[in-house]
């Protein structure tokens, strides 16, 4: 068993879509970033990479690389899933927190969990997403940013590598 932690934060700005866990959420602002700035998926990616000691999102998908301009973060997550699998691990579960003062995210968490679980080929019962406000404090509480944290648990897989 191996555990990993991930964290990310993006600024909230006008003129961008708000995409969290692959769900486009109706709001008057969105997250600023080179990719689609899906802060939840970025935290999950870093937790997965961390658990397997495979680097981090910035080293694998640099924001200076034009290939990742406007990238769909779920596609990056799919690539990370392949890296985890190639390294001989399977995903046991994921827990996560999104810190956003607004909008209210509870109506969307089940779609986010389904999106992440589907990309990772695991049951949505193994993906938890918990929205929190920041009680009006700090950049998230003041509506300047949204952040996310994730932890994952990996187990050695019994895939072809071990059978060989």
Residue closer to Mg ion (CB basis): 27 or 90? 27
In whole angstroms, give the CA distance from residue 116 to residue 128.
10
When binding is defined by CB under 5 A, the residue of 29, 42, 81, 113 that contacts Mg ion is 42
Q: Rounded to the nearest 10 degrees, what angle do helices 73-86 and 39-52 cross at?
A: 10
Contact between 8 and Mg ion by CB under 5 A: the answer reads yes
Contact between 38 and Mg ion by CB under 5 A: the answer reads no
Residue closer to Mg ion (CB basis): 27 or 157? 27
Cβ pair 28, 34 in contact under 8 A: no
Minimum separation from the CB atom of position 68 to Mg ion (A): 11
Residue closer to Mg ion (CB basis): 42 or 113? 42
In whole angstroms, give the CA distance from residue 49 to residue 45.
6
In whole angstroms, give the CA distance from residue 154 to residue 164.
21
Minimum separation from the CB atom of position 9 to Mg ion (A): 8
Cβ pair 89, 51 in contact under 8 A: yes
Minimum separation from the CB atom of position 45 to Mg ion (A): 9
What are the residues binding Mg ion (CB under 5 A)?
8, 42
């Amino acid at each position: 068993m191996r555990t990993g932690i991930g964290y990310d934060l993006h600024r909230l700005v006008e003129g961008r879509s708000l995409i969290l866990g692959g769900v486009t959420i109706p709001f008057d602002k969105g997250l600023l970033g080179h990719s689609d700035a899906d802060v939840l998926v970025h935290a999950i990616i870093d937790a997965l990479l961390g658990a397997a000691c495979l680097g981090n999102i910035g080293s694998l998908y640099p924001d200076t690389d034009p290939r990742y301009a406007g990238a769909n973060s779920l596609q990056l997550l799919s690539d990370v899933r392949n890296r985890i699998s190639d390294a001989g691990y399977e995903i046991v579960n994921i827990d996560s927190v999104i810190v956003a003062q607004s909008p209210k995210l509870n109506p969307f968490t089940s779609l986010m969990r389904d999106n992440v679980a589907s990309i990772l080929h695991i049951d949505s019962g193994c993906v938890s997403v918990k929205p929190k406000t920041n009680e009006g404090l700090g950049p998230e509480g003041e509506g300047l940013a949204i952040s996310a944290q994730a932890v994952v648990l990996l187990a050695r897989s019994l895939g072809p590598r071990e059978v060989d």
